[in-house]
Amino acid sequence: MAAPQDSSARRGAPQARNLELALTVLVLGGGAPAVAVSLYFLWQRELAPEVVWTLTAVILVVWMAAASAARQLAVRSLNVIANLLGALREGDYSIRGLSARSGSSMAMVMREVNDLGSTLQRQRTEAVESTVLLTHVMEEIGVAVFAFDPTHQLLLVNKAGERLFGQPSAVLLGSAASALGVDQYLSGAPRRLVDRSFRGKPGRYEVRRAMFYRDGRPHHLIVMADLSQALREEEQAAWQRIVRVLSHEINNSLTPIKSIAHSLRRIIDRVDPFPRQDEVSQGMSLIEERSGALGRFLRSYAQLARLPKPQPKPLKVTELVTRIVELEKRLPVVVSHSADLDLVADSDQLEQALINIVRNAVDASLETSGGVSVGWRADGADWIEITIDDEGKGLPDTSNLFVPFFTTKPNGSGIGLALSRQIAEAHGGTITLVNRVGGPGCRAAIRLPVTPR
Residue 194 exposure: Cα atoms within 13 Å on the Cβ side? 18
DSSP state of 199: T
Residue 452 in contact with residue 442, Cβ under 8 Å? no
Backbone angles phi, psi at 430, to 5 degrees: -140, 160
Q: Which helix H or strand E contains 437, and what residues bound it?
A: none
Q: From edge to edge, which strands make up the β-sheet containing 430-435?
A: 333-336, 372-379, 383-390, 442-449, 430-435
Residue 405 is predicted with a pLDDT of 55
Query: What CA–CA distance (Å, rounded) separates 265 from 274?
Result: 14
Q: Which residues of 56-77 are buried (b: 16+ CB within 10 A; e: fewer)?
A: eeebeeebeeebeebbeebeeb
Conformational region of residue 230, where left means phi above 0, alpha means psi within -120 to 50, and beta covers everything else: alpha
CB atoms under 10 Å from CB of 110, counted, come to: 20
pLDDT at 16: 59
d(CA 435, CA 444): 9
Residue 385's nearest CA partner among 337, 307, 446, 314 is 446
Whether pTM exceeds 0.85: no
Phi, psi of 275 (to 5 degrees): -55, 135
To the nearest 10°, the Cα dihedral for 253, 258, 263, 266?
160
Total residue length of the chain: 453
| Cβ atoms 421, 404 nearer than 8 A | no
- 3-state DSSP assignment of residue 202: strand
**DSSP letter string over 245-280?**
HHHHHHHHHHHHHHHHHHHHHHHHHHSPP-TTHHHH
User: CA angle, 84 as apex, 80 and 85 as ends, to 5°?
Assistant: 115
Do residues 424 and 430 make contact, with C-beta atoms less than 8 angstroms apart?
Answer: yes
What whole-number distance in Å separates Cα of residue 317 and Cα of residue 343?
7
- Cβ-count burial 114-133 (b if 16+ within 10 Å, e if not): beebeeeeeeeeeeeeeeee
Question: What is the predicted pLDDT for the residue at 414?
Answer: 60
Output the CA torsion sign for 397, 398, 399, 404: positive
Kind plus residue range of the DSSP H or E element containing 333 = strand 333-336
User: Which 8-state DSSP code applies to residue 96?
Assistant: -
Question: What is the full per-residue pLDDT of the chain (453 aa) written as tens digits?
Answer: 334 444 444 555 566 567 677 777 877 777 788 878 888 777 887 778 887 888 888 888 888 888 888 778 777 777 888 888 888 888 887 777 776 666 677 778 888 888 888 888 888 888 888 878 877 887 778 889 999 999 999 998 988 888 888 888 888 999 999 888 888 888 888 898 888 888 767 778 889 999 988 888 899 999 998 887 777 777 767 767 777 776 766 777 777 887 887 788 778 777 777 777 777 778 878 787 777 777 776 666 666 566 678 888 999 989 888 888 888 888 888 888 778 888 899 888 888 889 889 988 998 888 888 889 999 998 877 889 999 999 888 877 655 666 655 555 555 556 678 778 888 888 888 888 888 887 788 989 999 988 876
Res 407: pLDDT:
59
The residue type found at 243 is V
Report the Cα–Cα distance between both ends of the chain, in Å, rounded: 48
Amino acid symbol at 386: I
Q: Is residue 370 a contact partner of residue 390, using CB atoms and an 8 Å limit?
A: yes
The predicted structure's pLDDT at residue 3 = 41
